[in-house]
Homo-oligomer: A and B are copies of this chain.
Amino acid sequence: MSPIKILSQKPILNADLFSVVETKLDINGTLHTHRNIYRPPIASVFPLTDKNELYLIKQFRYLHDETFLEEVAGHVEKGESPLLAAKRELAEETGMVAKKWTQFGFFSGNSSVIKSEIHIFLARDLTFGVSSPEEDEEITLVKMPLSEAVKHVTTGSIKNSIASLGILLLSTLEREGKL
């Protein structure tokens, strides 16, 4: 049996992209108060050509004062499925449409303080339309062999953890003949 029981929870801050919740817990008979963050789920998209070239995007991240090389990703909106969000984000950020979709990962972004779930999709059979990024998104599309993306991860030039996880997972599945 778990030594931790949630006694009560109340929201103390609601922002657009997360809420902060105060949680009262019974941990082995002692009362604790934690503050937790709940985020909407995230859909991450890895579009792959028939030659196993991967499309990534470059975008400036003001929180890090740095341009990141990362995967197409965005929040799942209310009433939307993760797959629908993945299709929408891919179209908005790159203008691409994919005929073949496979979810190849479901992860928890953090287990102790933040509740955040990430759905990872492989997008195949790609065609190009017109992108419509949001006002605060200035996006450059980059295409590279999957093997080169793996090098970017191992050498540290891709820093986004979910981009890195998706790339290594795709590469593992490719090696196992499961891609």
Contacts and interface: CB of A to CB of B under 8 A. Distances in A.
Contacts of A105: 156
**A25, A107, A111, A138 — which one has the most chain B CB atoms within 10 A of its CB?**
A111
Interface stretch (A9-17, A47-55, A79-87): A9-17
A2 interface: yes
Interface in A137-177: 138, 150, 153-154, 156, 159-162, 164-165, 168-169, 171-173, 176
Given A25-B62, A135-B30, A172-B154, A68 B111 contact: yes
Nearest to A74: B112
A27 B135 contact: yes
A169 to B, nearest CB: 6
A25 B63 CA distance: 11
A38 to B, nearest CB: 8
A20 interface: yes
A168 B172 CA distance: 8
Contacts of A159: 106-108
A154 B136 contact: no
B165 A161 contact: yes
Contact of A154 (B3, B37, B108, B173): B173
A9 to B, nearest CB: 10
Interface residues of A, number: 63
A64 interface: yes
Given A20-B20, A64-B111, A108-B64, A172 B150 contact: yes
Nearest to A4: B62
A98 interface: no
A116 B156 CA distance: 16
Interface in A106-122: 106-116, 118
